[in-house]
Structure 1
Amino acid sequence: MLRAARRLAVRVPRGFRPPSRGLADDAAAKGGPIPTKLTFNLLAPHKAIFNKAEVDQVIVPGADGMFGVLPGHVPTIAELRPGMVEVTVASGDVKKYFLSSGFAFVHANSTLDVCGVEIVQLDELDPSAVSSGKSEAENALSSATDEVEKAKAQIAVDVYTTLTEALASNK
């Protein structure tokens, strides 16, 4: 029995490393000092809103809640839910965008890539259009007859609700 276990143990590939989690301090110790700025890319399929911009901080709507990214953040890949992306630029101003969904990739070199399906600056949204869209989505949900219609309507209600909350917090 020990021989069988020994044979199995030998078959583990040499380059195999079990998943592990690191800390930002560990990354800094290996790669030198932590940069003072975060390199930020905010990308939609049709345009790059930020392209290699030097920013102070970005707050994104992760699937498990909002989280902030600063220079020296531990490398991460995160699914993003509908919500507000807040970008603190070098001047201290905060620019706010609504993101429908997407992914965030934090790289070891203090670069953050946020890739979204739809990204709109909050100032460009019409509150009355959002309100009427939410009403239409709620009506579609209440009148949906099959599971697919209900799922689509629920997604629309969730997105419009998040849009409404983002607009309310932007006042």
Structure 2
Amino acid sequence: MFSLARSARAIARIIPKRTYAAPAAAGSEELQLSLSSPSAAYYSNTVVKQVDVPTLAGTVGILANHVPTLGVLKPGVVQVTELDGTTQKLFVTSGTLSMNIDGTVQVLAEEAIKVEEIDEAKARSELDSANRKAAEGGSEVERAEAQIRAEVAEALVKAVTGQA
């Protein structure tokens, strides 16, 4: 009969030790970003300085040579710092983050929109509607769907008002 500690040691011998990512191009300190949704590609292997991504575990700031990471996106703002220091902000609803061993990072969003394109009045209206629907009751599924709509709408309002 195996003990838990013995099993963990056996697995540790099989799995390679976790290390930092290798630069995307040998000898360089570049971070190559791909960020897209089903409707648009915002970055395609573009060299950037940094990307900050909202995940269920918190906001992850990624620079070149970041440790390989997987994450699940939560509604919020992805901020990309370009090489010249300018920033681009995109709102994402959900999706995945993958920082790869080769120094590339992919952000795949279910939906994404540039923050400056968000209509604040529509976002506030959606938030009010979703909160009303959640408070009304209904089935468990209807309440859960309304709560998800409210979470996304609240994140939209925060993004457009600069609170995100």
TM-score relative to the length of structure 1? 0.81
Aligned counterparts of 1:41 and 1:60: Cα–Cα separation in 2: 13
Residue identity in the other structure for 1:104: L
Larger RCO (CA within 8 A; separation ≥ 6) = 2
Match of 2:101 among 98, 108, 116: 108
Q: Which runs of 5+ in 1 are unaligned?
A: 6-15
- Tell me the residue number matched to 2:7: none
CA distance in 1 between partners of 2:159 and 2:19 (Å):
31
User: Where in structure 2 are there 5+ consecutive unaligned residues?
Assistant: 3-12
User: Percent identity of the aligned residues?
Assistant: 31
Which residue of 10, 14, 18 corresponds with 1:17? 14
Deviation per residue, 1:37-85 (Å, 9 max, x gap): 2100001012211111110000000111001110001111111111110
CA distance in 2, matches of 1:124, 1:167: 9
1:49 aligns with 2:42: yes
Deviations along 1:98-132, one digit per CA (max 9) or x if unpaired, are: 00001001011210000010000000001111111
State how 1:152-163 maps to structure 2 within 5 Å: 152-163=145-156
In the comparison of the two structures, how many residue pairs are matched? 154
Quote the residue 1:133 is aligned against.
126
CA distance in 2, matches of 1:102, 1:119: 10
Residue 82 (structure 2) pairs with residue 85 (structure 1): no
Give the aligned CA root-mean-square deviation in angstroms. Answer: 2.5
SS at match of 2:49: strand
Runs of 4+ in 1 over 4 A off after TM superposition: none
What CA distance in whole angstroms lies between the structure 2 residues aligned with 1:100 and 1:131?
16
For residues 135 and 66 of structure 2, the distance between their equivalents in structure 1, rounded to whole angstroms, comes to 43
Report the 3-state secondary structure (helix = DSSP H, G, I; strand = E; otherwise coil) of the residue aligned with 1:148: helix
1:119 aligned to 2:115? no
